[in-house]
Amino acid sequence: MLDEFFLRALVAGVGLALTTGPLGCFIIWRRMAYFGDTISHSALLGVALSLLFQLNLTIAVFAVAATVSILLLFLQRRQALSADALLGILSHATLAIGLVMVAFMSWVRIDLIAFLFGDILAVSWTDIALIWGGGIVVLAAIAWLWRPLLASTVNPDIAEAEGLRPELARLCFMLLMAVVIAIAMKIVGIMLITSLLIIPAATARRFALTPETMAVFASLIGAVAVVGGLFGSLRYDTPSGPSIVVAALILFVISLLPFAQRGHSRGGQQEGQGS
């Protein structure tokens, strides 16, 4: 019989995996992995601000991640630097500022390891309600934005000509990323969020024939990785968050083996230019 804390971890992890699957597919198609790192690194600044001003942690992390996303769009339009240079600056700057702020708050005792690598075994039923509630909202938004997001991924100019407003779709996608990172931080941590977004989607790409099936496969593969990682963590007494990522990596490696069937999703064949 499994303990209640372990069951809570399973429910929370599966809920998160179902949400990150479709988002991860668009990250793969748009070549936005570095953007995911930037937004996740900014989460620590949100943690520092929540402690300094006694704000709700999830709201503070979302606010900072959303602000960084909007700032990135603004700076890209100025065309002062390339996208990867801007991402590098924002990623390391927000992470460093967050760490410095935490260091100055000597009156606060904080477990940085928990924020950096997560602690899924400590989730409460309130956290689970937030994860599943937020996940449903994110998935509903992706379903609503699916056509403009996919069209702008394949060809932004054609999407613009068809009146699909690719820039608005891109902004909405970035904000959805901010929501997911805010609710995922407690589970897999700041340093591992991007892994959970990218690895299941990259694995699903090996089997899927259409963008829609790739999104579904990515969610299912992520859920399998969560279950496998948690049971592996229980069996071998390893950290739960990294164990989930290792399980996802094992599934990806298996997908590379010769007997694995390869799929070619249309979205994956015609990737956009990315962030």
The tokens for 169 are 């779709």
Residue 272's pLDDT is what? 46
Terminal CA-CA length for the chain: 46
Inter-axis angle of helices 83-104 and 33-53, nearest 10 = 20
Residue 168's pLDDT is what? 87
Q: Please state, in angstroms and rounded to a whole number, the distance separating the CA atoms of residues 133 and 56.
A: 17
99: nearest Cα among 176, 190, 172: 190
Q: In terms of pTM, does the model score above 0.95?
A: no
Residue 215's pLDDT is what? 96
Residue 102's pLDDT is what? 87
Domains of the chain from N-terminus onward: 4-269 (1.10.3470.10)
Q: Please state, in angstroms and rounded to a whole number, the distance separating the CA atoms of residues 199 and 5.
A: 26
Write down how long the chain is. Answer: 275
Residue 275's pLDDT is what? 45
Residue 1's pLDDT is what? 63
Asked whether 77 and 170 are in contact (CB, 8 A), the reply is no
Q: Mean pLDDT of residues grouped by 10 in the chain (275 residues)? A: 88 95 93 86 91 90 92 80 84 91 84 82 92 95 93 84 84 92 85 90 92 96 96 93 94 86 53 47
Asked whether 179 and 43 are in contact (CB, 8 A), the reply is no
Residue 218's pLDDT is what? 97
Residue 260's pLDDT is what? 62
